[in-house]
Amino acid sequence: MAHVALKNVNKIYGSGTRAVHAVQDLNLDVESGEFVALLGPSGCGKTSTLRMIVGLESISSGDIFFDDRRVSDLEPQDRNVAMAFETYALYPNFTVWENLAFPLEVRGVSEVEQRQRANEIAELLHITPILDQYPPNLSGGQQQRVSLGRALIRDPSVFILDEVMSHLDAHLKFQMLFDLKRLHRDLKRTMVYVTHDQVEALALADRVAVMSNAVLQQVGDRNTLYNRPANVFVADFIGEPPTNFFTVEPAQNGDSIKMIVTNADLTFALTEQTAAAVKVHGGNRFTVGIRPQNLHLDDKGDLQAEVLINEYLGERSILSVANSQAKFRALVSPDVTAGPHSSVRFSYDPADVLVFDEKTEALIV
Ligand SMILES: Nc1ncnc2c1ncn2[C@@H]1O[C@H](COP(=O)(O)OP(=O)(O)OP(=O)(O)O)[C@@H](O)[C@H]1O
Ligand SMILES: [Mg+2]
C-alpha cells in the first residue's frame, strides 16, 4: 500500500495553438489503503490523470509521490502500480489460469507460487470454476473479473481502474460494485477508480474527487458533496435529478436575510449562519440552490408553484413545477396524484438552501 500524492500536476498535450491543457494544477492526496473515485464528464482529464500516476504519460509540470518516493520520472514497471482498463485485453489463446499467472511468469515467479496466487485471486473474484476456460467463451462480466485479477495478482501498492464497468449491463454492474467494494475491504489496497457515473463513484469510494474542464472542483465523501457542494458545478453534477438553481436578490430584515427569486414570486429563508456569511460576502445578486429531495409537499409551505408534469418513476415521482419564470423540480412520493395545472406548495429546511456567488459560482459559507 502507498499514499499517493499529486502536487501541482499539469498535463498539456501538443503545443502552440494546438495545445490542450488536459489537467490543470491538480493537487490530490489518496491515503494509504483509501479508495478514491475520480469523477467527471467526458474529456475532463480523468484518464490523463491516471496515466500520469501509472507512468504511461509524462507529467508536463508538477510531481507525483508514492509515500515519500518521487515517482514522476520512473518507468511504469518501477512504480509497483497496476491498472485495469475498460477493455479487457486478455490473451484469447491462454486459459483464465494462464492469463492470471502471466504477470508472475514474466517476473520469474515459481510455478508453485503462480498456482497458489492464481487460486487465491480466483477465489477472491469468484472465478475458480472458469480457470480452465478460454476468454472468448466467457461473458463480459467474467472477462472483466479475469482482467481485474490479472492486475491484482502482482500485489501492487496502488491499484488503478479506468471505467472498468462501462461494458457491463446493469445487473453485472451491481454485482461488480459489490465485489469491488469487498475486494477493497479484503485487500486494503490504495485504489483510484475513474468513472463518469456518479452512482458508481458514490457507491464505491471513501472519497470522490470531482473534476470538470481539467480542474479538480472538490474532494469529499458522499455527504459533503451532497450537502456542501463547493460550487454550482458540483451541486449540479452530483445528485439525480440535479439541484434546482435560482437567481436571487437579498432582502435584509434586521439580522435575517431572505433571498427573493428574480422573475418569480418565491422567497428563500436562510439559516442565521448562512445569512451571516452572505452579509460578510456582500453583493446584490446570488444563485440559490436547493435539491429536489429537499422540497417537501406541504399545504402550509412558503413556496407555491403550478405543476407542469408529474413523472412516475416507480419508487418515487418527479414533480416539475413553475412559478412565473422559475421552473424547478421536487422529488415526491409516487402516491402524489397532482397533475398538470394543479397548485402545490412546498416547505423546506433553511439549512438545505445553498447560496453561491453569482459570478465565481463558489458556495458561500
Ligand atoms: N494523446 C492526446 N493528445 C492530445 N490530446 C489528448 C490526448 N489524450 C487526451 N487528450 C485530450 O485531453 C483532454 C482530457 O482527456 P482524458 O482522456 O483525460 O479525459 P477523460 O476525463 O478520461 O474523458 P472520458 O470520460 O471521455 O474518458 C481531452 O480534451 C482530450 O481530447
Ligand atoms: Mg477516460
Using DSSP, state whether 258 is helix, strand or coil: strand
Same domain, 264 and 147: no
Q: Number of structural domains, the chain?
A: 2
Residues 144 and 181 reside in one and the same domain: yes
Question: Is 72 in contact with 79 (CB distance < 8 Å)?
Answer: no
Cα(21) to ligand 2 centroid in Å equals 15
178 domain residue, yes or no: yes
Q: What backbone phi and psi angles, to 5 degrees, belong to 304?
A: -105, 145
- Look at residue 169 in the predicted model and tell me its pLDDT: 78
Whether residues 218 and 244 share a domain: the answer is no
Is there a domain that residue 91 lies in? yes
Tens of pLDDT along 226-256?
999 999 999 999 999 999 999 999 998 887 8
Nearest ligand 1 atom to alpha carbon 211: 21
Domain end point (choices 206, 230, 254): 230
Phi, psi for residue 54 in degrees, rounded to 5: -75, -30
pTM, 2 dp: 0.91
Looking at the fold, whether 217 and 327 belong to one and the same domain comes out as no
- Is residue 365 in a domain? no
Segments forming the whole domain that contains residue 143: 4-230
Same domain, 28 and 47: yes
pLDDT at 125 over 90: no
Do residues 245 and 206 share a domain?
no
221 and 254 both lie in a single domain: no
pLDDT confidence band for 142 (50 / 70 / 90): confident
Q: Is 51 in the pocket of ligand 1 (CB under 6 A)?
A: no
Instruction: Specify if 89 maps to a domain.
Output: yes
| Whole-number CA gyration radius for the chain | 25
Of ligand 1's listed atoms, the one at least distance from the Cα of 214 is: 14
What residue's CA is closest to ligand 1, atom 18? 45
Specify the residue with its C-alpha closest to ligand 1, atom 27. 42
Both 210 and 250 in one domain: the answer is: no
At 210, list the grid cell.
470531482
d(CA 332, CA 297): 7
In terms of domains, do 182 and 224 share one?
Answer: yes
Q: Is the CB of 291 under 6 A from ligand 1?
A: no
**Looking at the domain assignment, is residue 362 inside a domain?**
no
Per-residue pLDDT band for 333 (boundaries 50, 70, 90) equals very high
* Residue 361 CA, ligand 2 centroid: distance in Å: 26
Q: Please indicate, yes or no, whether residues 13 and 150 belong to a single structural domain of this protein.
A: yes
Q: 129 and 260, same structural domain?
A: no
Average pLDDT value for residue range 64-81:
93
43 lines ligand 1 (CB under 6 A): yes
